[in-house]
Structure 1
Amino acid sequence: MDRAKAVYADGPEAASDGKAVEELTGLLGPMAEEATRIVEAFALGARSSDGVTGAGNTVPPEFSTRLSIILNGLAPEAETHRAGRDDPPNVIQQDLWQLLYKVRESAELSYAREIDLVELDRRILFLLRSQGALVPADISSAVGVDKAQVSRSVKRLLELKMVERDQIRAPVSLTRKGTALSDRLLRLAELRNRELTFDIGDEELAQFFAVIEKLLHRAVMLYEQERALSQGEVKSLNPFAIDPAYEPSSGHPIVIERGRIISPLMTLSAYFSRSGALTFKRLTNLSNFESWVLNEIALDAPIDWNTLVSRLDRDHSQAGRTVRALVERGLIERAGQPGRRHGKFSPTAEGQRLFEIIQEASRQRSAFLMAPLSMPEREQFLATFEKVRRNAVVQLERERTFDELDQK
């Protein structure tokens, strides 16, 4: 940032400082020289565009805003080099979504033995049992789901006489029937959550929850910035640049309990997914899932149908509808024998262009989310996350086995 500002203020004479590259090498490694050329070229171009001449000029705020977009792209590379690793920066959204998908599938099989409720209905029951009566707006904020979905869920629970309220905007509370069911499901949920923390000590678990608290704070911030941008109410054109005067609502504090490990992860995923949907819609005009499908195809093209579906963790019909829509829009193409399941899929030229936009946005979003974490915090969080993921796989396989036995 300082290097680019100096070039903007003083002109081309400031652009040949080899010492800057030397200082950056410790941070960026082999890409230091290239990164320096990028920011210097940008500064000189902005200087020329703004009609600036001579030395000692004032750097306008707009320059810093535009520069932040470039620096956000370089930040993940700096973190990777400092960690001494060659792997790309972690993009947490997909890993988190796949973990929760496994937990949801396992839960559906387990809870169905008690009562047939969708996941959001159960989450609202759990929330009302722990927090007491809440208005729909507070429920929406606590579970990280928009008000329309919450309203539909509340309507279902009202019909089942699990909840009650005096009027449409009044607080929602549990009935006696809802309280009894909630207590029964909460006992089962606690057992399931405790299974997910197998091989995770108390101190490690506390550190894991502390990191989730930080990530949730950033996820809420990113969502609110993207929402403001989509509504034309944003102060900056870069949603990944932090506003120092901004402090999002932290909502309900996270309680460190083995029986509640999934709830904050679900809220984190919901906010990050909602901001992602706004980001990808703004940049590519694709939905969140369409962006994901295109991303998976382009990462391993040409990819066969079964491999693609297994990576998406979705059923064939939903994946098929999305793939068909992307083909019709000219973003992917199929080669091979007739029939969807016998072909292999690759991005078209336009699909490749959007894939590169998705990749860059994903890197920036992940960098923004993980920015408050030190490298030791990040590595410990990912190690604990992997333990939870492993336990979720074991839990799902067990529930599938029980389900198969029940059907015999």
Structure 2
Amino acid sequence: MAEKLNGNDAPLAGVQQELISAHFLLLRRVLLKSARTDFQGFMPQNQMERRVIFTLFRMEESRVSELAYSMGNDVAQISRALASLRNVGMVHRERQRDPYTLTAKGLKFGQELDAVAEKREQRLIRGLQPVEAFELGGMLMSLQNRASQILAEELLQAKTEDAGEEGITVPAYPDPPNRVQAAVFNIANTISRSATAAFKRLAGVSNFEWRVLVNVASRPSITFMGIVDHVDADKAQVSRTLDALVGVGLICRAKDAASGQVLIELTEKGQAYYALMRDDALKRHTILTAGLKNAQRGRLQGYLNLLIGNALEMAGMSGEQEDRHGL
């Protein structure tokens, strides 16, 4: 599995191959693909709302800020999901600052979702020995705590107003997820938010624009369709993004005389921006994994490779190339 992730045509490009964070984002995306099939027919179909129900089902009760911290999402996203779930009678709270709980309807739905999630969990961790699963659980808890610290510091630097109706509250003893898949989603969401804030602060570049830049930087003379394949987006979105990046002087297009194909390269300015963002991503990687010894990092990488392989099988994509994006 490792060679599939790190070969010349690997979906993890350049510096992404070094980053644990990129592997978490990869794993989240592949799991989302199989979840669309496994949870088809369940209401609500909204993935965020399902995750809120999952979390409340496990925690029994939780405030908005606690849900946001545990799930790795911002307060506004959680609040919107809870408002929707209240409208359909799945969650309730007595007063504004009281914790949310599931209604009888929400509890029944939570039980149904939990049964599917348990089957998915067993498929995801297939091949992990009990002692390995135990070690991985501890690593995931450590990574979630460090990812949350990185996000808090990044939001402070960016002076991002992310407080919502209850403010930014970090629980002293957050309730850890009871499944690997939930922990993966929480860590990936937290990583994605801190990366988005960092890229905006450093270069005024969006997360999607970074995904394009890292592929252009790491895959010399890439074509338009090559970018579409690797970032897993529709042609219109990629085309708009390329036009914007050309407009600000970060990339350029050139027609290859031999093949006639239009090739995309970074400009000198684009290379400088990429280097700045790459160095920041590596710095966050160092902080994220600071609590792990070298041998532990190696085992963590092995666990993630195993999980990614299982997730690809769950999505019916074993042996196929899947996009790996983000830092």
Kept in 2: contact 1:276–1:288 (CA 8 A): yes
- The residue aligned with 1:322 is 241
Kept in 2: contact 1:309–1:315 (CA 8 A): yes
Whole-angstrom distance in 1 between the partners of 2:44 and 2:224: 32
- The residue aligned with 1:373 is 292
- The residue aligned with 1:383 is 302
Call closer, same or farther: CA 1:251–1:336 in 2, change over 3 Å.
farther
Whole-angstrom distance in 1 between the partners of 2:46 and 2:132: 32
Q: How does 1:338-349 map to 2 (within 5 A)?
A: 343-349=262-268
Kept in 2: contact 1:295–1:358 (CA 8 A): no
Paired letter, 1:252: P
- Superposed CA deviations along residues 294-322 of structure 1, whole A, max 9, x for unmatched, are 11111112111232223223343433333
Higher Rg of the two aligned structures: 1
Query: What is the TM-score when the length of structure 2 is the normalising length?
Result: 0.82
Whole-angstrom distance in 2 between the partners of 1:328 and 1:96: 32
Whole-angstrom distance in 2 between the partners of 1:317 and 1:181: 37
- The residue aligned with 1:363 is 282
Whole-angstrom distance in 2 between the partners of 1:129 and 1:211: 24
Q: How does 1:4-403 map to 2 (within 5 A)?
A: 90-231=18-159, 251-254=173-176, 260-336=179-255, 343-397=262-316
Whole-angstrom distance in 2 between the partners of 1:320 and 1:203: 47
Whole-angstrom distance in 2 between the partners of 1:398 and 1:284: 35
- Superposed CA deviations along residues 106-151 of structure 1, whole A, max 9, x for unmatched, are 1012212323422111110011111112221221112111111111
**Helix, strand or coil: the match of 1:145?**
coil
Whole-angstrom distance in 1 between the partners of 2:244 and 2:220: 18
Kept in 2: contact 1:142–1:251 (CA 8 A): no
Q: Tell me which of the two structures has the higher relative contact order, counting C-alpha pairs closer than 8 angstroms and 6 or more residues apart.
A: 2
Q: Which has the higher mean CA deviation after the structures are superposed, 372-381 or 342-351? A: 342-351
**Helix, strand or coil: the match of 2:316?**
helix
- Superposed CA deviations along residues 352-385 of structure 1, whole A, max 9, x for unmatched, are 1101111111111111111221111000010011
Give, in angstroms, the shift of residue 285 of structure 1. 1.2
- The residue aligned with 1:11 is none
Give, in angstroms, the shift of residue 333 of structure 1. 1.8
Whole-angstrom distance in 1 between the partners of 2:212 and 2:26: 14
Call closer, same or farther: CA 1:206–1:317 in 2, change over 3 Å.
farther
Paired letter, 1:296: N
- Structure 1 residue runs of 5 or longer lacking an equivalent are 1-86, 233-247, 400-408
Whole-angstrom distance in 2 between the partners of 1:314 and 1:396: 18
Whole-angstrom distance in 2 between the partners of 1:356 and 1:211: 29
Give, in angstroms, the shift of residue 175 of structure 1. 1.7
Please provide the CA RMSD for this pair.
2.3
Ranges of 4+ aligned residues in structure 1 off by more than 6 Å: none
What percentage of residue pairs aligned between the two structures are identical?
25
Kept in 2: contact 1:98–1:313 (CA 8 A): no
Kept in 2: contact 1:218–1:368 (CA 8 A): yes
Paired letter, 2:255: G
Paired letter, 2:83: K
Give, in angstroms, the shift of residue 253 of structure 1. 4.0
- Superposed CA deviations along residues 229-257 of structure 1, whole A, max 9, x for unmatched, are 2229xxxxxxxxxxxxxxx75642435x5
Call closer, same or farther: CA 1:189–1:384 in 2, change over 3 Å.
same
Whole-angstrom distance in 2 between the partners of 1:253 and 1:163: 19
Paired letter, 1:254: P
**Helix, strand or coil: the match of 2:18?**
coil
- The residue aligned with 1:25 is none
Give, in angstroms, the shift of residue 277 of structure 1. 1.5
**Helix, strand or coil: the match of 1:268?**
helix
Whole-angstrom distance in 1 between the partners of 2:242 and 2:314: 30
Call closer, same or farther: CA 1:251–1:302 in 2, change over 3 Å.
farther
**Helix, strand or coil: the match of 1:210?**
helix
Call closer, same or farther: CA 1:288–1:165 in 2, change over 3 Å.
same
Whole-angstrom distance in 1 between the partners of 2:239 and 2:287: 32
**Helix, strand or coil: the match of 1:372?**
coil
Which structure has greater helix proportion?
Answer: 1
Give, in angstroms, the shift of residue 264 of structure 1. 1.0
Whole-angstrom distance in 1 between the partners of 2:205 and 2:113: 37
Whole-angstrom distance in 1 between the partners of 2:172 and 2:293: 21
